[in-house]
């Protein structure tokens, strides 16, 4: 249980403890402003809240202090790494008084690997604190006091928040001294590689694939001819779920025919789709078939390893279902799907609506979504190329729609949000991966004559601070 400071025990801004041979430790109760003194580096802080980036937030000398790894209701010792007149950045040294929801991380390399940053926080509390953080940003930006939060979109059967990812990108580094290829993840905020054999957040299909990859590289190290080419490997993208298993090897130069044939033989042994991206050459499928995933309604979505797809397949299915339920589609509805990608939403929505127009900036993604519509025999779906950050995009809004789906990148949909009322749409489903841009866009959409009728936290990235949110907007009835 976190202890609170007794009433009247506040110390002055100059209070400190000096230990022989140690650094001066300053308390967090000061109110002075300006730059931090060079000898005032180690401080003790009471953490009040959690930022949307997952860092604990405390107050130091009247400024917000951000500490990675610290949690609300904790007292910590931290070292200041940078400061200005508005904010302080600090590094956690020690948790002096841990919160009840602090837990032991499951990963052995958690402190080194840059993949996860929330394993020290109880899983259920991760969801609660994320929602609280998003709620605070939305209310402050939009002025809406009571956001109508519904049940979080999550995999209820996964009580631990582990073993869910279907996709990872592995980095490769060839150690010239040891003549060994290291494969793993990048360390946090660093290019340093953390070798891994197993990962606690990948699903069982992907872990099996990682095991088979390890066996492949162990075998290649035993052969001098193959070993001489291991330095060519730069990155490996892996995707695996109940529908298909795929690997993409990215190399700095073309592989020899001998090594390529060895990789093909390995893929055929384990029924793995293998793609190859050699230097500046095009991505090619050298073994297996086009990978795909199946949505809740049986819709088949084909993709290549370089395409964006949600890493959590079970939560993605629930998200698609929740969006469809919120839109309350009829056979008379016209739908505009903006930032549509492969058609993750467009395809299942087309089964229920009169027509769907999918708008996406990347031409290759548009072509793939058209092929996906054709393979699912959806004749009422069209897909077009359009940069939605360009003024030209506003023409699509003037065409009108009954329902709109917005699924933008981290930058959000600022331009579209400012003019979305021109569509006349009665319902908007906004899927966000960045609370900051969501807060900005929410304010713009509300000014276009809409209310927030529903909100759901999306637990797409358990064990990380990454937050996704679904907001449903309804046009005000005049």
Q: Which of the residues are catalytic?
A: 433
CB 277 within 8 Å of CB 250? yes
In angstroms, the first-to-last Cα distance of the chain is: 51
Question: Which tokens hold the place of 210?
Answer: 């990682």
CB 145 within 8 A of CB 305: no
Closest by Cα among 103, 124, 214 to 457: 124
120, 465 Cβ separation under 8 angstroms: no
Rounded CA separation 41/24 (Å): 8
Rounded Cα distance between 87 and 366, Å, is 43
């Amino acid at each position: 249980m976190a202890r609170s400071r007794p009433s009247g025990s506040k110390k002055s801004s100059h209070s400190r403890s000096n230990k022989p041979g140690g650094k001066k430790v300053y308390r967090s109760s000061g109110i002075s402003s300006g730059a931090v003194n060079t000898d005032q580096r180690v401080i003790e802080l009471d953490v009040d809240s959690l930022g949307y980036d997952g860092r604990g937030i405390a107050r130091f000398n009247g400024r917000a202090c951000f500490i990675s790894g610290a949690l609300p209701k904790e007292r910590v010792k931290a070292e200041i790494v940078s400061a200005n007149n508005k904010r302080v950045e600090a590094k956690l040294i020690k948790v002096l008084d841990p919160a009840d929801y602090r837990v032991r991380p499951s990963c052995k390399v958690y402190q080194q690997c840059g993949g996860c940053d929330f394993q020290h926080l109880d899983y259920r509390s991760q969801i609660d604190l994320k929602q609280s953080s998003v709620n605070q940003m939305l209310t402050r930006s939009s002025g809406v006091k009571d956001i109508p939060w519904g049940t979080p979109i999550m995999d209820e059967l996964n009580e631990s928040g582990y073993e869910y990812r279907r996709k990872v990108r592995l980095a490769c580094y060839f150690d010239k001294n040891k003549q060994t290829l290291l494969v793993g993840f990048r360390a946090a905020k660093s290019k340093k590689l953390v070798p891994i054999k197993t990962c606690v957040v990948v699903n069982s299909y992907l872990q099996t694939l990682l095991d088979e990859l390890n066996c492949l590289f162990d075998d290649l190290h035993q052969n001098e001819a193959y070993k001489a080419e291991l330095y060519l490997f730069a990155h490996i993208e892996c995707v695996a779920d109940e529908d298909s298993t795929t690997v993409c090897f990215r190399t700095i130069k073309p592989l020899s025919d001998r090594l390529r044939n060895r990789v093909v033989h390995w893929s055929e042994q384990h029924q793995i789709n293998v793609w190859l991206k050699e230097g500046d050459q095009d991505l090619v499928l050298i073994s297996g078939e086009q990978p795909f995933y199946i949505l809740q309604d049986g819709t088949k979505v084909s993709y290549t390893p370089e395409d964006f797809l949600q890493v959590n397949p079970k939560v993605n299915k629930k998200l698609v279902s929740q969006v469809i339920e919120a839109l309350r589609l009829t056979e008379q509805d016209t739908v505009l799907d903006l930032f549509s990608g492969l058609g993750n939403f467009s395809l299942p929505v087309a089964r229920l609506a009169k027509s769907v127009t999918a708008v996406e900036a990347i031409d290759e993604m548009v072509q793939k979504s058209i092929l996906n519509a054709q393979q699912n025999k959806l004749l009422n779906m069209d897909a077009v190329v359009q940069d939605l950050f360009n003024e030209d995009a506003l023409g699509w809004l003037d065409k009108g729609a009954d329902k709109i789906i917005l699924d933008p990148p981290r930058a959000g949909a600022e331009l579209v949000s400012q003019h979305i009322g021109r569509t006349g749409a009665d319902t908007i489903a906004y899927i966000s991966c960045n609370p900051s841009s969501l807060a900005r866009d929410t304010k713009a959409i509300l000014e276009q004559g809409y209310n927030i009728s529903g909100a759901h936290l999306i637990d797409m990235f358990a064990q990380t601070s990454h937050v996704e949110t679904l907001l449903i907007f309804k046009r005000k009835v005049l």
